[in-house]
Amino acid sequence: MMKSMRTMWVLLVSLAGMLAGQDFSDIHIEKISANNRFTEGPVWSKDGFLIYSDVPNNRVAAFVPGKGVGSYRENSNGTNGNAIDSQGRVYSCETRTRRVVRKKKDGNWETIADKYQGKRFNAPNDIVVRKDGHVWFTDPAFGEQQNGRELDFFGIYHITPKGELDLVAKPKGRPNGVALAPNGRTLYVSITDDRTVVAFDVDGQGKATNERVAIQDIDGPPDGLRTDEKGNLYVTCNQLAIYTPQGKLIRTIEFPETPRNLAFGDEDLQTLYVTALTSVFRVRMPVKGSLQY
């Protein structure tokens, strides 16, 4: 990172109250990356650094605490969402090639899904991987991604550890962020157009049932999602909104830019990294994040 990039801009947000029994006062928001075009897809690596996408710039960056920002992947095919499995492999949603890829041990990328019933996906957006290797991802279409679509619906998909693909749901609104409860038995998906988050029960084979609205009337179009160790759900919208597992709003946190996605990181999983338009922020939290791998 350039010397000027090391000068962190710090904003103090005074928040009263409690979060699931944790003291939620004196929250400091720190900018760790600036001058991007549109940041998305943060995920904490098992090797101790954050990766995130700068979608229009067609790259995936890496932030190493104490060292700064560097390149992780250039010519990323418009990668948006990223995830990491229990083996440390990175999964990415490539919007331009309309596929989901995984990084192999030799450093090359392999396609694990690019079509449904012979038709190309719209533009895979966000992804989550469970400890046992089951994968879920969303396939909406925003802006120019509508051009040349082969599928006439938006989809939520599941990939088994053996690579078998099945369709979970075809929501009327565009599905966006995706996350799992700490026990891996509840799948959450934000539906941007409806301003809701829907939930599914998922079993040991990854089958999703009992679709229901978990959160509604969200303040702004919801995007990325995460859960903490207590099962609370974090939703990026006009701000960061934090809900109980029962869907009750606990707290909101305002950022200098509109947040788009988030991930818990650092060795203790108590730092929340937030991608927000042209910047990436971090904030120490009074609760640990849930981590599927």
Give the model confidence (pLDDT) of 75-90 as tens digits.
Answer: 999 999 999 999 999 9
Of 5-19, 53-67, 173-187, where does mean pLDDT reach its minimum?
5-19
Handedness of CA 213, 217, 222, 224 (dihedral sign): negative
Residue ranges of the domains in the chain?
Answer: 3-284
pLDDT higher than 80, residue 5 = no
Q: What are phi and psi of 100, to 5 degrees?
A: -110, 130
Whole-angstrom CA distances from 175 to 12, 14, 192 are 33, 33, 6
What average pLDDT is seen over the chain? 92
How do strand 99-103 and strand 109-113 relate by DSSP bridges? antiparallel
What pLDDT does 293 receive? 72
Q: pLDDT, tens digit, for every residue of 92-106?
A: 999 999 999 999 989
Q: pLDDT, tens digit, for every residue of 187-244?
A: 999 999 999 999 999 999 999 999 999 999 999 999 999 999 999 999 999 999 999 9
pLDDT band at 156 (very low <50, low <70, confident <90, very high): very high
| CA dist., res. 177 & res. 190, Å (int) | 5
Q: pLDDT, tens digit, for every residue of 248-276?
A: 999 999 999 999 999 999 999 999 999 99
pLDDT band at 20 (very low <50, low <70, confident <90, very high): very low
Structure-block tokens of residue 274: 């937030």
| Cβ atoms of residues 277 and 257 within 8 Å | yes
What pLDDT does 25 receive? 54
- Best CA proximity match to 43, nearest among 255, 224, 189: 224
What pLDDT does 27 receive? 84
Strand partners, 273: 263, 282
| CA dist., res. 23 & res. 19, Å (int) | 7
Q: In this structure, what DSSP letter does residue 3 have?
A: G
pLDDT band at 291 (very low <50, low <70, confident <90, very high): confident
Q: What are phi and psi of 240, to 5 degrees?
A: -95, 120
- Which residue's structure tokens are 């700068």? 54
pLDDT higher than 50, residue 9 = no
* CATH 2.120.10.30 matches 3-284: yes
pTM for the full model?
0.91
Q: In this structure, what DSSP letter does residue 143 have?
A: G
pLDDT higher than 50, residue 18 = no
What pLDDT does 157 receive? 98
